[in-house]
Amino acid sequence: MSKLYEHGTLAALMAGNMAGTIAVGDLLKHGNTGIGTFDGLNGEVIILNGEVYQAVSDGHVNHVTERDAKMPFASVHFPDKPTPVTLQQVNFDLLNGQFVDDHQLANVFAFLKLSGHFEKVHTRIAPKQERPYPSLLEVAKGQPEFHRQDIDGTILGYYAPDVFGSITAAGWHLHFISDDRQFAGHLLGFSADQLKGDFEIFDTLEQHLPVEDQDYRQSKVDLQSLRAGIAAAEGSK
Amino acid sequence: MSKLYEHGTLAALMAGNMAGTIAVGDLLKHGNTGIGTFDGLNGEVIILNGEVYQAVSDGHVNHVTERDAKMPFASVHFPDKPTPVTLQQVNFDLLNGQFVDDHQLANVFAFLKLSGHFEKVHTRIAPKQERPYPSLLEVAKGQPEFHRQDIDGTILGYYAPDVFGSITAAGWHLHFISDDRQFAGHLLGFSADQLKGDFEIFDTLEQHLPVEDQDYRQSKVDLQSLRAGIAAAEGSK
């Protein structure tokens, strides 16, 4: 079984720690596939085969080749014997319901990647924030959303158990990127007749924390609002 | 920086998954120092220099040399350049307050080991449970407690940030073992004039989950009562 590597926590973003704390080059040592965001919560990141794509809030997609750029939050892994899967009539209801049940994902971390023709894709893209940083929840209230119809692409991301919902997004956290790499974002909704791809269950979460970062060390998290805040900021619809 | 390896979660124990899911021999590959419990929540485990001690609920301590015995929950690490520390007038108030503040531990995982002469030690020892397992919280209500005065020994264990309080014990989770290895347990309270030891901050939590265990895969956790339940079951006094 392979492991999921996560740098930073959504709890830290909720507390306004949005400065980048891991260089892309260092992150890629822990995986060539994954999702994340850049310094200042700048956009939505998709990592595929070691290539890094960043959707920014005006809607365009950067192919990031700089390896010094820093990220405050990212999840990556090296694929290891993923299980092939073909799904029909695919949307979040299917992924959240039957797919989780069929593969008993409720208490494990998992990865899912599905490609094909999407009838509808609904995304949002976090706009870059400046210091003093607001909370993730504040940012989530004013994010540009995008809709596309009839587009070929890939959704990918991770499933986390409910009990980890204070540090990462519980349930599915998926990003989309089109085959032509011109459209991407955090996935809020989608529908597709048929998608093919694979999934993988991890037995280990390697949770890396930015312990050298003074803002992180000193930050205070409001536990009362944390879980609901993460769900509101990162959840699918 | 070294990493803290944790097998299982307190959330799983809260849901009644108390069967052992990792062999001692496998656990020791990830650390020679740590704490945990055995199959069926059988006692309180202290691991020092690769030696495994188990305090059982009648109060005596076993030196466990079998490597096939299984544990449902354990935290271990290999010490890596720990920072020496000498503390005066030591008790939980000091560790929870000034010590956490002085070393900015609030948002990190850390290890602490302190040895010396204790004026008072107050422990409890979880009694072995049988199937069908109760919840951790039920077990915590009926655990034998022990008091000793003027005893030489060592306390050791881990600090976890509040946001991880749904999967492990937030704050300090410490066990005690006497120098003569005849008395040990989960630490509820203590006082000492002076203790010497060391502490270490981890930048990584390697969280291993028993994904091959069917009871774990199917278990349902009550999120509403989880955090308070873990605090009640594992907290210090």
Burial class (CB in 10 A: 0-12, 13-18, 19+), B110: buried
Question: How many Cβ contacts (< 8 angstroms) between chains A and B?
Answer: 96
The predicted pLDDT at position B139 comes to 86
- The residue in chain A having the minimum alpha-carbon distance to the alpha carbon of residue B201 is A211
Residue B226: its pLDDT value, please? 85
Please name the member of B106, B207, B227 whose beta carbon is closest to the beta carbon of A205: B207
Chain B residue closest in CA terms to A221 = B163
Instruction: Measure the CA–CA gap between B210 and A107, rounded to whole angstroms.
Output: 9
Residues of B in contact with A202 (CB under 8 A): 211
Position A235 scores a pLDDT of: 67
Tell me: pLDDT of A223 over 90: no
Domain B3-234: CATH architecture, name and number where available: 2-Layer Sandwich (3.30)
- Checking if the pLDDT of B187 tops 80, the result is yes
| Average model confidence (pLDDT) across chain A | 95
Helix, strand, coil content of chain B in percent (nearest 5): 20, 45, 35
Query: What pLDDT does residue A120 have?
Result: 98
Q: Looking at residue B237, what is its pLDDT?
A: 47
Q: Which residues of B touch A164 (CB under 8 A)?
A: 166-167
CA distance A216 to A225: 18
Question: Distance between CA B189 and CA B196 in Å, rounded?
Answer: 18
Cβ <8 Å between B223 and A108: no
**pLDDT band for position B175 (50/70/90)?**
very high
Cβ neighbour number for residue A69 with a 10 Å cutoff: 19
CB atoms within 10 A of CB A65: 9
Query: Over 70: is that where the pLDDT of B194 sits?
Result: yes
Mean pLDDT of chain B: 95
pLDDT grade for B233, boundaries at 50, 70 and 90: confident
| pLDDT recorded at residue A237 | 47
B106-152 pLDDT per residue, tens = 999 999 999 999 999 999 999 999 999 988 888 888 899 999 999 99
Q: What is the pLDDT of residues A146-176, one digit of tens each?
A: 999 999 999 999 999 999 999 999 999 999 9
B21-37 pLDDT, tens per residue? 999 999 999 999 999 99
Radius of gyration of chain B (CA): 16
Report pLDDT digits (tens) over A15-65: 899 999 999 999 999 999 999 999 999 999 999 999 999 999 999 999 999
Q: Do A163 and B11 touch (CB under 8 A)?
A: yes
Q: Which of A95, A117, A27, A44 is nearest to A237 (CA)?
A: A95
Question: Domain ranges in chain A?
Answer: 3-234
More confident residue, A213 or B234: A213
The CA–CA distances, whole Å, from B147 to A69, B140, B150, B153, B179 equal 55, 17, 10, 14, 16
Interface confidence (ipTM) of the complex = 0.96
Nearest CA in chain B to A2: B208
* Contact criterion met (CB < 8 Å) for A203 and B217: no
Strands (E), A142-227: 145-160, 171-178, 184-202, 204-208
Q: Mind listing the pLDDT tens digit for each residue in B42-71? A: 999 999 999 999 999 999 999 999 999 999
